[in-house]
Amino acid sequence: MNSHGQYEHQVVWAVVGTDIGPLLLAATDDGLVNVVFHATDSVRDKALDRLASRLGTQPVEAPGAPQLAEAIRQVDAYFAGDRQVFELPLDWSLISGFNRQVLRELASGVPFGSVVGYGDLARRVGQPGAAQAVGMAMGANPLPVVVPCHRVLESDGGIGGFGGGLETKRKLLALEGVLPEPLF
C-alpha cells in the first residue's frame, strides 16, 4: 500500500533482442501490459515515463521477474518460428472502450498467418462504418506483436500503416508466411 492507502501496482520491464530490433516488455501482476518497438535508450526512457504516468508507479527493470519470464520465453519462441499463438495473461488497463473491443477481437479472431482488413475488423465488432476508427485502435495498441495489429491490412490489399514502421510490419508478415521474405 502507498501513503494514500491504495494498493500499488508493480510494473516490471525488460528489453529483449528480436529480429525486428529490441522490444521493451512491461508487465504488472495482471499480465503483460506494454510492448514497445525499437527500444533504444531514448525510446525506452520515454515509454517508461509514459507507463509511470499512466499506471501511477515507477516501472522497475527486472528481466528475471516471474511476471515477465513467460512473456520473454514466448516472444523468443515466436521469433524463432517455434510459436504461433501467444498464451499470456494480458493487462488491458492502458486501453478501453472501442479500442479495447477491437484489439480483443483481433487477438482472438485473427490467427497466425492470416490477415484482416480494417473494414472487416470493424464489421466483426458491430461497427461496419468504423474502418478509420479501427486504424486508430491499431495505432493505440499497447501490446503490438502479442496483439497482432501487423495482421490488419487495407481493403485493397495495401499494407497500411504501422506504429513500428512498415519494414517491421513486412518482417512480421514474412515471419508468419503472409509475405515473402525480403531479398535484402
Catalytic residues: 149
Strand order in the sheet with 12-16: 31-36, 23-28, 12-16, 60-61
Residue-by-residue DSSP string for 168-181: HHHHHHHHTTSSPP
CA gap 122, 11 in Å, rounded: 32
- Provide the grid cell at 65: 521477474
Half-sphere exposure of 101 (CA within 13 A, CB side): 12
Q: Which residues contact residue 21 at a Cβ distance below 8 angstroms, ignoring those fewer than 6 apart?
A: 37, 38, 39, 168
Angle at 39 between CA 148 and CA 32, to 5 degrees: 50
